[in-house]
Amino acid sequence: MVRLNNASIMLEMKATSKEGALRELAALAAVACGRFTEEILYSVLLEREALGSTGVGNGIAIPHGKIKGLDDILLCFGRSRAGINFEAIDNRPVHLFVLLLSPTSKAAEYLQALARVSKILKNIDKRQQLLNCTTREEIVALFTAAPTPS
């Protein structure tokens, strides 16, 4: 099971653009994983975004990608109360970002992690709670709680 930890959570992103948000998340992931630079992770995210925005609507974006040499799936969370224009499918600003990076060798686990994150973020109550959380611990608890049926 993929875990989110306090070190991989940003309670208030400073970015005001899609590129800025991706850079900020890449920097957070670089520190969390300690193995890749912000630039390398940013380029992985940009490459994925070139295929189509990972802004899935309802104020959510799930930037993700696969990277060779990563040991385990990495999950990071960022929040922008102001919202960021992320070219989401519903053209609304994005407030909740869940970054998912996976080793190229863990395709099945990657898809499971993506499905779990999507299920959590589909729930309107969980989205509201994520917007209202004041501590990293509350966010970790929301992501580690048993999923609620949608």
The full set of domain ranges for the chain reads: 6-144
Q: How large is the average pLDDT for residues 40-48?
A: 96
Confidence of residue 130 (pLDDT cuts 50, 70, 90): very high
54, 55, 58: which is closest to 44 by C-alpha?
54
Q: Which of 64, 66, 95, 127 is catalytic?
A: 64
Average pLDDT, the chain: 92
Q: According to the model, what pLDDT value does residue 34 have?
A: 86
Give 91-121 pLDDT, tens digit per residue. 999 999 999 999 999 989 999 999 999 999 9
Q: Which CATH code is given to the segment(s) 6-144?
A: 3.40.930.10
The pTM score is: 0.93
- Measure the CA–CA gap between 31 and 49, rounded to whole angstroms: 22
Tell whether the model's pLDDT for residue 1 goes beyond 80.
Answer: no
Give the model's pLDDT for residue 144.
Answer: 86
| Per-residue pLDDT at 33 | 87
pLDDT score recorded for residue 149: 54
Active site residue 64: yes
- Give residue 147's pLDDT: 60
